[in-house]
Structure 1
């Protein structure tokens, strides 16, 4: 698959819009970028509601929706039964006859796609966006049993993704974890990428600021995001006037978090916006004085890259991949995960800085975001589809 001829690319994903999560956003951006380069893109993903499978024509791709089933422990996630996924992926791959298949995780849809693509000798790329431990909040089992589930999931990841021609994941930390726990010999760290220019202030553009300091959180409202710690920190901040918090995103924890804000007496300082469109999200980044990500299960954190692209100082949990996005004291600060007092102090430190100092922090963050260029990421994936190896990419 050399040269410049357009390719047929099939992206197999367990989650895709209208799902809202990092993997879903990445898959949509990947499909959009490849379509813009003239390739024919097909996406296979679970249907977001009850009903039979169907084919959806979207601007970025032909999306093949598979019949799916609700999960009792999660309000929105849906699964495709393995036997259905195997049958449907075999049929779709035979109909589409892709040049490359790109799977996005090793569960249901991803596993079926790897099996069917390898069986037919089709170039296969596997990208992992997920740590098995991310399942913990949704498994109603004791801790010892969850450890067994995680161990088995890591083992399955190695067996399934190890059959692909190239395995990637967004960060070096995740690559090391996959080598250690999934026994994968070669994992290519490849950023999800970000178009930093989209979040920059346009010439002549003005942002209307609130009369109080504004802290921003963006993300799915799930247990592992630890937004409750952020709410608690709001009560401990010393900054005057008292900072407000804007929360963008939805999820199973929203009602609990709204209740907790009321219990803490800060409901009038916390705005739960739910899901917003891309333009409003961009304005929220530019309106904020500091961005906070208290989550402890981030493989890369696209929302943090977006905040850095908007030149916002950041305060992030010292966990998983987040430390890779902060030069402590340069473009923001790390705080001890779960420690509301430490988080409050770090946000206070950002807000106490002069306008010039905060601007310098924002510029440092923007430089870091530019390093994660979407163009570079998409160039690399396109090269992998055409036959490049991980070593080719690392040596480029």
Structure 2
């Protein structure tokens, strides 16, 4: 059965602010296209992007900006001519159920309760949370939900979404370890992701400053781009650790995996993660992750004390506990080696082909009714 699938998402993978959520959706889109389905990806425009383009068998329609993409995608009746709509709710819902009679699947990577006040002022934060927690559950009350972790599934249930309407489809990876990529001879920590406030890269910078007396050769690699980059560079300068940090910006896939393989530890101090795709990507190279338990999805992608460490917010923002956990892995070579072997085995079970198969099965069920 060949389907006509419409995907609504605020960014595509080549958007300057794209992250793991976009990687997930593009991989699913290209996987479905490769299986003979017609896939249209409606998203926002950005500098240098073509308004209409076909990549990897997926037709991209780029209109509107950061906020105007929502009304333009929905009021433009872009749902016409499709069998099923995948409406990606990154905090703000498209509410496509209001303008189409076709099945709508709502993809939610994580709930943004904690992020609204961090990124927006009080009034906008209250409005955003009202949209996410009140309006969206009502608008999608008859829709199937997909999320990437059991932790997000539980949060959706808390918002009133029926448990039997939520399907968990994990992230995957096709990356393989390269024997030519060697672990650094000196301790290195890596942070990878969009440089935005909610990723809290400052915590990793603070930890490196605290660890300097114990690990004078320690180095932090910050990989990724985003509008918060200047603030992070200023923070590193205030801490006096500019010589211990390299801001790489956006890098190629090959360079990303070289840096992941080189690192002793992957640091993910994010406020919230739906799953944490980079946890799996780092794990391919035997690099364990240190993350916060309260981030949610990290409790699904990391097996505490086996494939990585989960830290509680024990002292406010948790910098002290986070620093101690990083130091523990940097110091204990035997434990880190054991954890490296365990994380390789753990992440091997998460494959993109399984993710695409699950999506195809679900969409066919939706259309067939």
When normalised by structure 1's length, the TM-score is 0.83
Q: Which residue of the partner structure matches residue 321 of structure 1?
A: 297
Aligned in 2, Cα 1:370/1:275: closer, same or farther, shift over 3 Å? Answer: same
Q: Which residue of the partner structure matches residue 75 of structure 1?
A: none
Report the secondary structure of 1:378's partner residue: helix
Task: Please list, as runs of the form range in 1=range in 2, the aligned pairs for 1:275-290 lying within 5 A after superposition.
Answer: 275-290=250-265
Q: Which residue of the partner structure matches residue 74 of structure 1?
A: none
Contact map agreement 2:206 2:239 (CA 8 A) in 1 = yes
Question: Which of the numbers 109, 113, 118 marks the counterpart of 1:129?
Answer: 109
Give the distance between the partners of 1:185 and 1:339, measured in 2 at CA.
32
Aligned in 2, Cα 1:358/1:124: closer, same or farther, shift over 3 Å? Answer: same
Confirm whether residue 227 of structure 1 aligns to residue 207 of structure 2: no
Contact map agreement 2:307 2:342 (CA 8 A) in 1 = yes
Contact map agreement 2:292 2:312 (CA 8 A) in 1 = yes
The alignment's C-alpha RMSD in Å is: 2.6
Question: Which of the numbers 99, 103, 121 marks the counterpart of 1:140?
Answer: 121
Confirm whether residue 103 of structure 1 aligns to residue 87 of structure 2: yes
Q: Which residue of the partner structure matches residue 177 of structure 2?
A: 201
Give the distance between the partners of 1:54 and 1:24, measured in 2 at CA.
18
CA drift of 1:147 comes to 4.3
Where do 5+ consecutive residues of structure 2 fail to align? none
When normalised by structure 2's length, the TM-score is 0.88
Question: Which of the numbers 72, 94, 99 marks the counterpart of 1:84?
Answer: 72
Q: Which residue of the partner structure matches residue 71 of structure 1?
A: none
Aligned residues: 360
Confirm whether residue 60 of structure 1 aligns to residue 34 of structure 2: no
Confirm whether residue 11 of structure 1 aligns to residue 7 of structure 2: yes
Contact map agreement 1:9 1:39 (CA 8 A) in 2 = yes
Report the secondary structure of 1:186's partner residue: helix
Contact map agreement 1:292 1:314 (CA 8 A) in 2 = yes
Q: Which residue of the partner structure matches residue 308 of structure 2?
A: 332
Deviations 1:65-115 (A, max 9, x none): 1223xxxxxxxxx12265433332x2x333xx2232211117777323x33
Report the secondary structure of 1:125's partner residue: strand
Contact map agreement 1:21 1:220 (CA 8 A) in 2 = yes
Report the secondary structure of 1:333's partner residue: strand
Contact map agreement 1:192 1:302 (CA 8 A) in 2 = no
CA drift of 1:132 comes to 3.3
Indicate the larger mover: 241-250 or 175-184.
175-184
Task: Please list, as runs of the form range in 1=range in 2, the aligned pairs for 1:168-207 lying within 5 A after superposition.
Answer: 168-195=146-173, 197-198=174-175, 200-202=176-178, 205-207=179-181
Give the distance between the partners of 1:172 and 1:147, measured in 2 at CA.
26
Aligned in 2, Cα 1:224/1:36: closer, same or farther, shift over 3 Å? Answer: same
Give the distance between the partners of 2:7 and 2:128, measured in 1 at CA.
27
Where do 5+ consecutive residues of structure 1 fail to align? 69-77
